[in-house]
Amino acid sequence: MNKLHRTALTAAVTAAAVAGGLGITGAASAQSTPNAARAADPRANERVVQTFLHEVIDGHDGAATAGLVTPDVAWHGGTLGVVAGRSNVTGLFTGIVTALPDLHSTVHDLIGQGDQVVVRQVMTGTQKGAIIGIPASGRTVTWDAIEIFVLRDGKISQIWAGDDWTAILNDTGTYKAPWIS
């Protein structure tokens, strides 16, 4: 990403945060209200998210999720729904890194603002196990993802997942959209 694109992305994240928290103010402020008086450290929050990506995703250690999230953590997966609670979210990520045992995240942008960290990344792995009901295909799966992490007291309290499910469905052989060649 060139400097102009990075500047534009940073400006958009900053504007969204100032305007009310990247479109998730209701949920984010409800969980972060007790900490409102204390300013969040964006660099420390970025390090927590980097640790999560390194240990859980690239390190294939779903159990490491438990030490990096709050007890009331919620993963918001769009049409996949919401997974709530430390043990459930840990189970979710354990299932993902088990189904895709060589999963790797290539981070293109990681930007912290207040108690939020936005990550733009490309995920790649070989589907060796079932994931969201899709049987193992043995195929390489690659998709773009933009995630918003909300942190509280140095732990991840929410993950808003924006994953390209059309790419995942295509690469697993489940569905081929007419626009994909």
In the block, tokens 């299932």 appear at 95
DSSP 70-103: EEEEEEE-GGG-EEESHHHHHHHHHHHHHHSTT-
Q: How far apart are CA 110 and CA 93, in angstroms?
A: 20
What is the arithmetic mean of pLDDT over 95-104? 98
Give the pLDDT band (50/70/90) at residue 77: very high
Q: Report the first-to-last Cα separation within the chain, whole angstroms.
A: 25
Q: Give 145's strand partners.
A: 121, 163
More confident call, 23 vs 150: 150
More confident call, 101 vs 27: 101
What is the arithmetic mean of pLDDT over 120-128? 98
**96-129 as b/e: b if 16+ CB within 10 A:** bbebbeebebeeeebbbbbbbbbbbbebbbbbeb
Q: How far apart are CA 128 and CA 115, in angstroms?
A: 35
pTM for this model (two decimals): 0.79
171, 139 Cβ separation under 8 angstroms: yes
Q: Quick: pLDDT tens for 1-58.
A: 444 444 434 433 433 333 334 433 334 434 444 444 456 899 999 999 999 999 999 9
